Amino acid sequence: MANFEQAKGSGRRFTSKHMSIIFFSVLIAFFSVAMFISDAMKAEVSVSINGEEETVHSTADTVEGLLTEIDLEVGKHDELSKSLDAPVEDGMELTYKETDEVVVTIGNKSNHYYTTEDNVQNFLNDEGIELSENDQMSVSAQDDIRNNMHIAINKALEVTINDGGEKQTAHVPNQTVENLLNKQGIALDDNDRINVDPTEKVKDNRTIEIVRVSTEYETVEKDVPHETETREDDSIMQGDSEVVQSGQDGKKVEEYKITKENGEEVSRELVEEEIVEESENRVVAKGTKQPTQTAQSSSSNESSSQSSDVQQVSESSGGFQTFTSTKYTADCSGCSGYTATGVNVNNKTTHNGMRIIAVDPSVIPLHSRVEVKTPSGSFTAIALDTGGAINGNKIDILTNSRSDALQWGRRSVQVRVLD
């Protein structure tokens, strides 16, 4: 009986131990199966991160979950080949590129860009930023792109330079006017003028005007007009006059400072004057001798009285006589350009402020001053010339225009001798 109970207790202990072994064996088998099933459920994904590739086994349902598994945070501007909600599939290829921020400044305007390109040239091409031959950039086109990179671009400006009347157009980068002129080989003298401040920046479509200012000196020889001097002479009858000295113009040398702008004269200043030949005055003797009174017959007295009456009428009319007038020019056929008294009239029609006329010396003595009255006015003239056709009460008035001479034709004028 005792052996049976002993045997019975021994059998219960064997059973508990055996059951424990079986339980642990089943648990191990369960985990093994679970591990197998888990491995069987993982997807194999090829992930490229900034060019570096690796294979990832993921149980995530979406790309976002996969990125969480590999602890990869995608920035706002980063590039990802799949959307975050795309399902994860076995054999999937996923590419991620982190973008670099690049600031581009053109002139006074800056723009921010995000790029995955590797160098500056590829970045510019990708963003459609074009550079011309004369544009300037702060970095090389072959430089690698890096985060927070700054690229400054100076676009070429079209500038026209008018240098003393000679124009040239150039496409140049932004710089000061002074630097531009130096690069173009343009130097400014102290007297030259420019329409912009050389320290200013060049502006697009602007014309830079340079006025070349030069100074030179010129010496000119001129006549010194002679004066007319009147002297009383009691040996000459009153009312008559006689030229004692014809007079001669002197000569002087004048030096002028001439200022030119772009080769054109703009001002002339007299800086020095020298008399090289003194003038000689014209001297006229004016008669003061009174006529001698003699006894005459009655008829003679009557005639004298009548003559006296005529003289009085002449004096009351101012001593004017009627003359036929014409006009002539210094360059007429056969003319020498000099008057009978030797005055050069190639460039003038007046002498000492008086019009030059040709006269018959037997009627009006040479060098006499006369007053000529026309229907439209009067002027003072001086008798300096003669002419083959000027006989008696005729005068020929010097003019500088052939058309004026033809238009004048023949006209009656009133003439009186002043001295």
Res. 347 pLDDT band, cuts 50 70 90 = confident
Instruction: Answer whether residue 37 shows pLDDT above 70.
Output: no
- Please check whether residue 141 is in contact with residue 117, taking contact to mean a CB–CB distance below 8 angstroms: no
Res. 370 pLDDT band, cuts 50 70 90 = very high
Euclidean distance between CA atoms 397 and 374, whole angstroms: 12
Which of 223, 222, 226 is CA-nearest to residue 352? 226
Instruction: Answer whether residue 296 shows pLDDT above 80.
Output: no
- Please check whether residue 213 is in contact with residue 192, taking contact to mean a CB–CB distance below 8 angstroms: yes
In this structure, is the dihedral angle defined by the CA atoms of residues 55, 56, 62 and 67, taken in order, positive or negative? negative
pLDDT digits (tens, 9 = 90+) for 319-345: 899 999 999 888 766 677 889 888 888
pLDDT digits (tens, 9 = 90+) for 201-251: 888 888 999 999 999 999 999 888 888 888 888 887 777 778 878 788 889
What distance lies between CA 390 and its chain's CA centroid? 59
Res. 189 pLDDT band, cuts 50 70 90 = very high
What CATH fold (topology level) applies to the domain 157-211?
Ubiquitin-like (UB roll) (3.10.20)
Output the six-digit token pair for 168.
């040239």
Output the six-digit token pair for 40.
């069987």
Domain ranges of the chain: 43-97, 100-154, 157-211, 215-283, 318-417
Res. 2 pLDDT band, cuts 50 70 90 = very low
Output the six-digit token pair for 170.
């150039």
Amino acid, single-letter form, for residue 107: G
Instruction: Answer whether residue 149 shows pLDDT above 90.
Output: yes
User: Torsion-angle region of residue 410: left (phi > 0), alpha (psi -120 to 50) or beta?
Assistant: beta
Q: Concatenated DSSP letters for 211-222?
A: E-EEEEEEEEEE
Euclidean distance between CA atoms 250 and 240, whole angstroms: 29
Euclidean distance between CA atoms 155 and 201, whole angstroms: 13
Pick the CATH number of 215-283 from 3.40.50.150, 3.40.50.300, 2.30.130.10, 2.20.230.10: 2.20.230.10
Which of 113, 75, 119 is CA-nearest to residue 97? 75
Instruction: Answer whether residue 380 shows pLDDT above 80.
Output: yes
Q: CA angle at residue 283 from 237 to 279, to 5 degrees?
A: 175
What is the CATH architecture of 43-97? Roll (3.10)
Strand, coil or helix: 413: strand
Q: What is the pLDDT of residue 333?
A: 62
Q: What is the mean pLDDT of the chain?
A: 82
Q: What is the pLDDT of residue 27?
A: 63
Res. 46 pLDDT band, cuts 50 70 90 = very high
Q: DSSP letter at 117? A: -
Q: What is the pLDDT of residue 311?
A: 36
Res. 314 pLDDT band, cuts 50 70 90 = very low
Asked whether the domain spanning 318-417 has the same topology as the one spanning 43-97, the reply is no
Domain spanning 318-417: which CATH class is it, in words?
mainly beta
Euclidean distance between CA atoms 299 and 307, whole angstroms: 12
Interval 287-300 mean pLDDT: 57
Q: What is the pLDDT of residue 32?
A: 53
